[in-house]
Structure 1
Amino acid sequence: MIGERAEDRTILRLSGADAHGFLQGLVTRDAGEGLTYSALLTPQGKYLADFFLLDRGDDILLDVKSDIARAVAQRLGMYRLRADVTIEEADLPVARGLGDMPAGAFADPRDPSLGWRAYGVAGGDPVTDWTALRVAACVPETGVELTPNDTYILEAGFDRLCGVDHKKGCYLGQEVTARMKHKTELKKGFVTVSVDGTAPVGTAIMAGEKPAGTLYTQAGGQGIAYLRFDRATGPMTAAEARVTWKK
């Protein structure tokens, strides 16, 4: 197994008799067979962090972006109370790759185009344009498209990315998420758009003289945009770039 080194990831290890039940009451999708994509929300249903979960029986690995790893560990610690749970950083490298999945690796649950991930494997130097793959599959990233205390995960496509289980037991923010799922029609959200030209991340998208959304990460003539759907029916611009969305 080789793969490529995922340089921006940190592994948190949760262990103890209550680890599984503890996480189940907090995250949007439980650790199950294989690799799981999940999130932690505020009680008001807004995004705090997203991560992968790997249940190894005696412990659970939480694969999170390094920039927010300490904040996630601290937030989980707030809810631990008297539960028999230990939360610690594990010295485990993360590798990822495309093509045939080697033994001991796990398919990325968000989209088949994102390949596989493996733990405890150093991996080689990165050569794949993972940003272009992420944009093409419309996978928002924390610190760029996903904003803690602001983003709603259904607008961010977590249904499509297998990041929320609407049939599981209670979790933080479930009431708001369930109401958005069953009682409202999404009027805004992240989509992949065609981009002719470039614009800085965070540039406003205009439909004529009306604001239609915001343009974020761009690669290979495409971009991830947060759009107001009713205004995104025709030609749009982001600064000097031309933006097109095909439903």
Structure 2
Amino acid sequence: MAPLILTDRAVISVRGADAPAFLQSLLSADCEALISGDACPAALLTPQGKILFDMIVFRDESGFLVDCRSQFVDALAKRLSFYRLRSKVEICLQESFQVVWLPPPVAPAGEFSDDPRSAELGSRGLSNNCSGKDGSSAYHQLRVALGIAEAGLDYDPDAVFAHEANLDILSGVSFSKGCFIGQEVVSRMHHRGTVRKRFLPCEVEGDIPQTGTPVNVGERTIGTIGSSAGRQVLSLLRLDHLEAALSSKTPILAGGAILTPRIPDWLRGEIPNLLRQSA
């Protein structure tokens, strides 16, 4: 199968002698642990632990290439440059690069590797000579079905914590590497188990609710709708209220639609109480 282009993604290069330490001090993931050809999900957080930008970080022989949403590429490059100070780092937009994708079950080869968040999401890579078709729609349909949230589609910058977007489960946060922006809040939530909300995929019965629509159980709002694909939506849901709704078999509504939350395999170990209620 020919590679598909994710036309809503763009690439920033981070090069220079200090590039590993520079990204290590800023991003949530352990970028220094990457070797050439590796990739990891990561985020640049606020000091309060909320996501400003999410991304996939690739390492090559010359440094790092950051795969992010096109709508945020200028703002992300500007923010990284703001933190550069005296670091020996060059931050550049790479307009000739394309983010390319192979949907499953096509095996990764060449410049492709499994998506570092989940192999079920297919494989991705970077190219400067791909002539493939636009695969964004198919990619997002699969992403929503798997319950993998992304900034700009499911939530706004500075709106959700890293745990709420499931970055802690999707290998996007290192709890052992040391300090990074927002690290104190992220570590506290992790060690105290105070994660109250997470994104979950939901099946929809009725009209598809728009992004931002409140999710209600009775008179109580328990979450909001993210993006949709087909008959499925991603929803940021308050877990304790969702557990109570499932236990009492109270309808979960968004607008006039009925939602049936699903728990992806990769998330099952993190919310056992919810899993029992949904069984």
- TM-score tier, shorter chain, comes to over 0.9
Instruction: Provide the C-alpha distance between the structure 2 equivalents of 1:189 and 1:182, rounded to a whole number of angstroms.
Output: 16
Contact 2:154–2:211, Cα closer than 8 Å, also in 1: no
The question of whether the paired residues in 2 share the 8 Å contact of 1:95 and 1:123 is answered with no
Counterpart position of 1:93: 98
How many residues align? The count is 247
Equivalent residue for 1:217, pick from 216, 227, 241:
227
**CA RMSD, aligned part only?**
1.6
State the one-letter code of the partner of 1:124.
G
TM-aligned CA deviation for residue 219 of structure 1: 2.1
Partners of 2:62 and 2:55 in 1: how far apart? 19
**Which residue pairs with 1:117 in the alignment?**
124
Partner residue of 2:50 out of 46, 53, 65: 46
- Superposed CA deviations along residues 16-47 of structure 1, whole A, max 9, x for unmatched, are 11111111100011331311111101112111
Q: Normalised by the size of structure 2, how large is the TM-score?
A: 0.84
1:200 to 207, 210, 216: 210
What is aligned with 1:138? Answer: 147
Q: 1:244–1:129: structure 2 CA closer, same or farther, 3 Å change rule?
A: same
CA contact (8 A) 1:111 1:137 kept: no
Whether the 8 Å contact between 1:196 and 1:242 is mirrored in structure 2 is: yes
The DSSP-based 3-state class of the residue aligned with 2:227 is strand
Residue pair 1:94, 1:122 contacting (<8 A) in 2 also: no
Alpha-carbon offset, residue 57 of structure 1: 2.8
Amino acid at match of 1:202: G
Distance in 1 (alpha carbons) for counterparts of 2:195 and 2:98: 38
Tell me how far apart the structure 2 counterparts of residues 187 and 44 of structure 1 sit (CA, whole Å): 16
| Secondary structure, counterpart of 2:179 in structure 1 | coil
Q: What SS does the corresponding residue of 2:142 show, helix, strand or coil?
A: helix
Question: Are residues 1:179 and 2:188 paired?
Answer: yes
Alignment CA distance shift 1:123-1:162 (3 Å): farther
**Correspondence 1:244 to 2:244:** no
Alignment gaps of 5+ in structure 2: 263-274
Q: Tell me if the contact between 2:224 and 2:235 (Cα under 8 Å) persists in the aligned partners.
A: yes
- Whether the 8 Å contact between 1:11 and 1:64 is mirrored in structure 2 is yes
SS in 2 for 1:158: coil
What is aligned with 2:59? 55
Deviation of 1:196 (Å): 0.8
Q: Secondary structure at the match of 2:152?
A: coil
Whether 2:72 is the aligned partner of 1:68: answer: yes
Task: Give structure 1 stretches of 5+ with no counterpart.
Answer: none
Match of 2:3 in 1: 3
- Taking the aligned partners of 1:118 and 1:145, their CA distance within structure 2 comes to 23
Q: CA deviation at 1:123?
A: 4.4
DSSP 3-state at the match of 1:80: coil
Identify the structure with the greater helix proportion. Answer: 2
Distance in 2 between the 1:38 and 1:192 partners? 21
TM superposition score normalised by structure 1:
0.94
Partner Cα distance (1:20, 1:30) in 2: 10
Rounded to whole Å, the distance in 2 between the matches of 1:97 and 1:180 is 35
Query: 3-state SS of the aligned residue for 2:26?
Result: coil
Distance 1:94 1:23, change over 3 A: same
